A = this chain, B = another copy of it.
Amino acid sequence: MSTLLIKNGTVVTATDQFVGDVFISGEKISALGQNLNMTADKTLDATGQFVFPGGIDAHTHLDLPFMGTSSSDDFESGSIAALHGGTTSIIDFAIQTQGDTLGTAFNQWMEKANGKAAVDYAFHMAVTDFNETTRAEIRDLVEKQGVTSFKTFMAYKGALMVDDRQMVELMKEVKKHGGMVTTHAENGDIIDSLVQEARKNKQTEPKYHALTRPDIAESEATGRFLDMAFSGKHPVYVVHMTAESALNRVREATKRNQKVFVETCVQYLLLDASLYDQGFEGSKWVMSPPLRTKKDQLALWNGINQNLIQVVATDHCPFCMDQKKMGENDFSKIPNGMPGIEHRMELMFSEGVMKKRLSLNKFVDVTSTQAAKIFGLFPQKGTIAVGSDADIVILNPNQKHTLSSKTHHMNCDYSAYEGWQVQGKCQTTILRGQIAVQDGKFLLKKGFGKFLPRKKLDHTPCITE
Interface residues of A (CB under 8 A from B): 11, 13-20, 23, 30-34, 36, 157, 163-165, 167-169, 172, 187, 189-190, 192-193, 214, 216-217, 219-220, 223-224, 227-228, 230-231, 248, 251-252, 254-255, 257-259, 298-299, 301-302, 305-308, 356-359, 362, 365, 369, 379, 383, 385-388, 460-461, 463-465
Q: With A and B bound together, what is the CA distance between A13 and B187 in angstroms? A: 41
- Contact call B30/A31, Cβ cutoff below 8 A: no
Separation in Å of the A216 CB from the closest CB of chain B?
Answer: 5
Assuming A33-B33, A299-B257, A464-B357, is B214 touching A192 (CB within 8 A)? no
Q: With A and B bound together, what is the CA distance between A379 and B361 in angstroms? A: 12
Separation in Å of the A386 CB from the closest CB of chain B?
Answer: 5
Q: List residues of chain B with CB within 8 A of the CB of A220.
A: 223-224, 227-228, 231
- Contact call B18/A16, Cβ cutoff below 8 A: no
Q: With A and B bound together, what is the CA distance between A95 and B407 in angstroms? A: 61
Q: With A and B bound together, what is the CA distance between A31 and B32 in angstroms? A: 6
Q: With A and B bound together, what is the CA distance between A265 and B231 in angstroms? A: 25
- Contact call A460/B358, Cβ cutoff below 8 A: yes
Q: Which 6 A-B pairs have the closest CB atoms?
A: A31-B33, A307-B307, A164-B189, A165-B189, A220-B227, A257-B302
- Most chain-B Cβ atoms within 10 A of its Cβ — which of A17, A23, A168, A169? A168
Q: With A and B bound together, what is the CA distance between A387 and B36 in angstroms? A: 12
- Contact call A19/B387, Cβ cutoff below 8 A: yes
- Most chain-B Cβ atoms within 10 A of its Cβ — which of A19, A254, A308, A359? A254
